[in-house]
Amino acid sequence: ALAMSARLREALGRTDEAVGALETWAKNATLPADRSARLLRAAECELRHEGREASAEAHLREALAADTSEIRAWIALGELLVASGRLEGAIECTDRAATHANEDQDLAALALLQGRAYEQRGERLEAAESFGMAAQADPHCVQAALTQARLLRGAGEWGGAARALEAFLEGHDAPDDPSLADVHEQLGRLLAGPLEDVNAATLAYRRAIDLDPTRLPSRSALAELLSHRPGDREEAIEQLRLLLDANPTDAACLRVAIRIARANAEGAGIETGIAVLRSLGLASIHESEEPHGPPPPPTPILHDTRFEQLRCIAQEASEGIAKALEASGAPASRTSEGPEAAFRDAMLRAEGRLTAPSLVPLTTREIAEILSLVVRLTVEPESVHGDGHQVNALTEALRRRERRRLRRWVGDTPTHELCDVDFEQWRTEVRALAAATAIGEAGLDLRTALIALLREEDAALDSRLRDSADLAPLVATSPIARSLLRRIVTEWVDRI
């Protein structure tokens, strides 16, 4: 009855009543182990609520007085002592508890608590030893191994930190576990830095990437190392492609790419790289004084296959779309003067040439509807549904001959794959290609283009952006500016 009463009150969240029932049940226990387990349960019930730590601690101590082998009570008490800053008591508690721990997992938990207590006391080496014991007791506790290495590194014991990580990796029973990527990365940092073992560091970073291909810090560190080795520069460039695709404003990666361009004596590549740094406001004083040039004309294609198919379909159907929309296709006239206005004007013209001029002033939703209708009329005209006027107008404009020409762009691609693309992203990529094209046509620099695109999203941007302000944070959060920079940087890296 008492067991049922306690369980029911716990389930209903009546903490005081549940704890009272558990205390009564504990008093009625005939075996010390049962009394201890019930008092531990009372403490655990209290620890689920803030402000009951003192009462929970009293129950834990009673539980241990009844049965010193109740390891869960030792661990809970140690956690309370560490959390409350009673570090000496926590260390004594975990020392005593260790004599009762029969399972490796329990030993690891106690060692982690002791390590935290020593670290909070500023005793790094003692803390490192405790975390090392936790890693030995639980070969899967990656955090223990990493913390041990961090503490040893902080104490200047670089070799010891590396050996600790190597020992943990050797003792792990699943070497392909993705969680070990962090261990390999930290080992790589030690080997590449204070231990100056570049070959071993390279292997460590490669292994980290093998285990977790999304691990950008390992790729960045590997690219930096490989850029200094003539025979490995192609691999360095491969890493840079991935890194700069993920973050085209990464100054460290941009400088690694410039270093490779210098090593390869790629004069144009060096100038483009310097121009990118200057455009973002990231160039050093020395870099600002170096020669710089505009990016080369972009390759006039979209890198995503489906996006490029849609662009070509729009371009091929341009006249028919204009007829259906009864649009002249003439670009809007410039409403202001200056470099930014010249860039916008050139960008609008380029966007029209790359797709269809009559699509340029439309919303993305309208463009999606028209291009999806063009695709369906090309592939399956008998099943087309939609706005009657629009369907009739496009059907009239896209005669059989025009549809035959469009089919070569559709190819074997299922209709839904073209109609269901992310048109918001498609338009961003189209406009980025148009922007890259406009830079050369208008004879402007990349910074002017980036500022013009940023002002599209926030017309109130401070005029100081025209000088040398750092644009990287703004570009990183602007879809169109980021896409333009990514396109330019990607093609630049490919040409190094």
Using only C-alpha atoms, the chain has a radius of gyration, in whole angstroms, of: 33
How many other CB atoms are there within 10 angstroms of residue 415's CB atom? 15
Mean pLDDT over 188-198 rounds to 96
Mean pLDDT over 10-23 rounds to 72
| Residue corresponding to tokens 């794959």 | 417
Is the pLDDT reported for residue 2 higher than 70? no
What six digits make up the tokens of 125? 């080496």
How many other CB atoms are there within 10 angstroms of residue 383's CB atom? 9
What six digits make up the tokens of 263? 């090593």
DSSP 317-385: THHHHHHHHT---PPPPP-S-SHHHHHHHHHHHHHHHHS-GGGTTS-HHHHHHHHHHHHHHHH-GGG--
- Return the amino acid letter for 134: A
What six digits make up the tokens of 97? 């508890």
Q: What is the phi/psi pair of residue 384, to 5°? A: -75, 135
Least confident residue range of 52-66, 142-156, 465-479: 465-479
The set of residues, in sequence order, having a beta carbon less than 8 Å from that of 145 and lying 6+ positions away, is 131, 132, 135, 164, 165, 168, 183
- pLDDT tens figures, 78-118: 999 999 999 999 999 999 999 999 899 999 999 999 999 99
How far apart are alpha carbons 346 and 438 in whole angstroms? 5
Residues of the chain above pLDDT 70, percent: 94
How far apart are alpha carbons 113 and 436 in whole angstroms? 57
- pLDDT tens figures, 218-247: 999 999 999 999 999 999 999 999 999 999
Cα three-residue angle 223-224-228, rounded to 5 degrees: 105
Give the pLDDT of residue 9.
63
Closest CA to 235 of 203, 196, 212, 193: 203
- Return the amino acid letter for 452: A
Q: Is 387 exposed, middle or buried (0-12, 13-18, 19+ CB in 10 A)?
A: exposed
Is the pLDDT reported for residue 38 higher than 70? yes
How far apart are alpha carbons 207 and 183 in whole angstroms? 10
Give the pLDDT of residue 49.
80
Q: What is the phi/psi pair of residue 204, to 5°? A: -65, -45
| Residue corresponding to tokens 């704890």 | 19
Give the pLDDT of residue 463.
60
- pLDDT tens figures, 267-300: 889 999 999 999 999 999 999 999 888 888 899 9
413-422 long-range Cβ contacts below 8 angstroms, 24+ apart: 413/306, 413/309, 415/375, 415/376, 415/379, 415/380, 417/306, 418/306, 418/309, 418/310, 418/313, 418/372, 418/375, 419/372, 419/375, 419/376, 421/306, 421/307, 421/310
- pLDDT tens figures, 389-432: 778 888 888 888 888 889 999 999 999 999 999 999 999 999 99
Give the pLDDT of residue 332.
55
DSSP 242-261: HHHHH-TT-HHHHHHHHHHH
Cα 21 → chain centroid: 50
How far apart are alpha carbons 480 and 455 in whole angstroms? 11
Residues of the chain above pLDDT 90, percent: 74
- pLDDT tens figures, 128-186: 999 999 999 999 999 999 999 999 999 999 999 999 999 999 999 999 999 999 999 99
Give the pLDDT of residue 127.
97
Give the pLDDT of residue 485.
97
| Residue corresponding to tokens 């980036």 | 450
Closest CA to 239 of 275, 175, 229, 265: 229
